[in-house]
Chain A
Amino acid sequence: MTAPVLEIRDLAVEFKTDTGLTRALRNVNFDVPRGEVTAIVGESGSGKSVTANCIMRLIQPPGRITGGSIRFAPTASQAFDIAALEDKDERLLDLRGGHISMVFQEPMTALSPVHNIGGQVAEAILCHREVSKEQAWAEAAQMLAHVGIGDIERRMTMYPFEFSGGMRQRVVIAMALVCNPEVLICDEPTTALDVTIQAEILTLIRNLQDELKNSVIFITHDLGVVAQIADHVVVMYQGRVLEIGTVRQVLKQPVHPYTKGLLKAIPGVVDPGERLATIASVVGDADITTPFPLIKLSDGRQVSLPRGHVPAELKP
């Protein structure tokens, strides 16, 4: 097994607000294996997106990374800690869009309304490589064709408001992949789309990953999507990591009561009048808000529980 492309250790983020300090992330630890899809799951406010923004260093004031490290190991160059980079560091500008890029949740607003599609995609190339504008446009056209946009010549001079949501998300994906980044972060890329388009976009991301072999971090709250796309799963709750494992381990043999609760809360076939399971009732007396350090069960399998609660057959 090759070394992970990203190693996140004890990452902490705080937001200073008028009502006090919000600790958005505390002691977040996980690895992103090279060339595979890692899903981060959790409910709203669990810190999934904040984690992604940390990796891109997109946390804006009043938010601040207050501790921890994000070790990024590119294949071609020296590894470095993203969290420790100065704001003006060239490596940071190079990193964004060049080595790590991001697909956002809202395709309707993620593109500039007053710049044409071709220009926006080509700009990603021009930011990172010394090529002519024509060359950048040609490569942008290729990438757009690759993500399934037809009639490229005409579409490239069109503007985002002339595109549907699904088409825009394809553009955003093309923009993210056009510099062939090592890591692609997808922050709920299908949440704002309807179900059929959602399936198309998921297939597209999966196929592109198979082909380009880049590492993908896929953020979602939808366990169905996780089952469909992920190799590894990181479960987050209240800014902490509760459970880490392969998709099979986490979905088939969840250890943490919260993960079990999440799985039970998936809407299935129910009788009329039956209520969905809620997390509070399944967790019972194991208090999920008390932080416990992650215990390593096996390679790539960790859980945040007091030692006594770990099932005997899983104990290392």
Chain B
Amino acid sequence: MTSVLSAVLRAAEPGRSLLDAVRRLARPYVVRRIFGMIPTVVFISIIIFVVIQLPPGDIVTSTLDRLQSSGVEVSAEQVQNLRAQFNLDKPMHMQYLHWAGGFVVGDMGYSYRYSRPVNELVWERLGYTLLIAVSAVFFTWIVAVPIGIFSAIRQYSIGDYTFTVIGLIGIATPHFLLALLFMYAAYEWFGISIGGLFSPEYREAPWTLAKVWDLCQHIWIPMVVLGLGGTAATMRVLRANLLDELNKPYVVTARAKGVRPVKLVLKYPLRIALNPFASTVGLLLPTLIAGDVIVSRVLNLPTLGQLLLDALLTQDMFLAGSIVMLQVILIQFGLLLSDLVLAWIDPRIRYE
């Protein structure tokens, strides 16, 4: 895999941009990486399937329980029919193949709880989930990177200490508490309706400019709440990385060359200090999707995390399994993305 990437860069003739070279030659590398993911994904899908099967009972037994507790008698034949309908009468490996096979062709099965295809449920939430996750990441970076740089350059200054204290408070405060505080503030001071991504009147409305504006008014709460936790950590890590780099000889060389102070920091040490973030950028996607369950609950956000929690509580196997599988696939692509970003910003990694 590394030999391929080095071939990519050998092909970067002078005058031709790096991106051109990547476009021309990175394709086989990416294709190979994607094929390499298949065994991992298959293996994990088996584990997921087994784990989901482990708890006693299945969708039919829980339906029966519900029916029986409400006084409805169900005949043995009806039970048999139900089981057949959900393929529960087939042997385990056939059930797995049926589930996994559906996944391959893009059919994630049927949610018993919602009586709708899993595809619909997931897709309508995936967009919002990604929107919230990406805006939270942007918030984190926009706030944390400048503060991290400031703290490193003015180490032990009053500003550095102030940001450190605020950062530590940010780490120590539980997300849901922040969410509650922000909701209170939003309602009390700005008169914005609490919870969700839209005001009630826009919830089912078709997309219009007004609806987008309504979304903008609501999204900042989850954005700030989810972003703040990461901000403190990011800013501390960046500060530490940058402090390591600031006095390296190559920075002194650049200064001796007459590079202007601001450009000096941005072009040289920052570039290297950002490496660890590049290697985690791909992992942010799945964590942000999975990690916001409590906040999603509190803020009543239509995210995948909340859907997953519901699915697990109701033993909605297709739904839960599908979401976990989606996350596995996201992690795989996230890792690939990280590697590509890292190779793009650090030539040493390309050649190794």
Contact = CB atoms under 8 A, between A and B. Distances in A.
A157 B14 contact: yes
Contact of A172 (B12, B14, B253, B268): B253
A109 B249 contact: yes
Given A106-B249, A156-B14, A113 B272 contact: yes
B257 A111 contact: no
Interface in A121-143: 123-124, 127-128
B348 A96 contact: no
Contact of B256 (A56, A154, A156, A162): A56
A156 B250 CA distance: 18
A135 B253 CA distance: 22
A113 B348 contact: yes
A159 B248 CA distance: 17
B32 interface: no
Interface in B225-280: 247-250, 252-260, 267-268, 271-272
A96 B255 contact: yes
A13 interface: no
A164 to B, nearest CB: 15
B127 interface: no
A28 interface: no
Given A156-B14, A161-B348, A96 B250 contact: no
Interface string A74-106: 000000000000000000011111100110101
B347 interface: yes
Nearest to A112: B250
Contact of B348 (A60, A114, A127): A114
A175 B257 contact: yes
A110 interface: yes
Interface string B325-348: 000000000000000000001111
Shortest beta-carbon contacts, A-B, top 6: A97-B258, A97-B257, A127-B258, A96-B258, A109-B249, A112-B250
Interface residues of B, number: 25
Contacts of B163: none
Contact of B260 (A93, A98, A110, A115): A93
A128 B257 CA distance: 9
B340 to A, nearest CB: 16
Given A153-B14, A162-B351, A113 B260 contact: no
Interface string A141-169: 00000000000011011010110000000
Residue of B248, B249, B257 contacting most chain A CB atoms (<10 Å): B257
B256 A58 contact: yes
Interface of B: 12-14, 247-250, 252-260, 267-268, 271-272, 345-348, 351
A246 interface: no
Nearest to B271: A114
Contacts of A113: 250, 272, 346-348
A191 interface: no
A209 interface: no
Given A58-B252, A109-B248, A111-B250, A159 B348 contact: yes
Contact of B249 (A93, A104, A114, A118): A104
Residue of B258, B271, B351 contacting most chain A CB atoms (<10 Å): B258
Contacts of A180: none
Contacts, number: 82
B254 A112 contact: yes
Contacts of B346: 113-114
Query: Is chain B's interface secondary structure helix, strand, loop, or mixed overall?
Result: helix
Contact of A97 (B247, B249, B256): B256
B258 A94 contact: yes
Contacts of A106: 249
Contacts of A60: 247
A27 interface: no
Residue of A58, A110, A112, A127 contacting most chain B CB atoms (<10 Å): A112
Interface string A24-61: 00000000000000000000000000000000101010
Contacts of A104: 249, 252-253, 256
14 contacts: A60-B247, A96-B258, A97-B259, A110-B252, A110-B253, A112-B254, A113-B250, A113-B272, A114-B346, A124-B257, A124-B258, A127-B257, A159-B348, A161-B347
A159 B259 CA distance: 20
A66 interface: no
Contacts of A112: 250, 253-254, 268, 271
A154 B247 CA distance: 30
B212 to A, nearest CB: 40
Nearest to B272: A114
Contacts of A124: 257-258
Contacts of B271: 112, 114
A122 B134 CA distance: 38
Given A106-B249, A156-B14, A116 B258 contact: no
Nearest to A113: B348
Nearest to A152: B14
A195 to B, nearest CB: 22
Contacts of B255: 58, 96
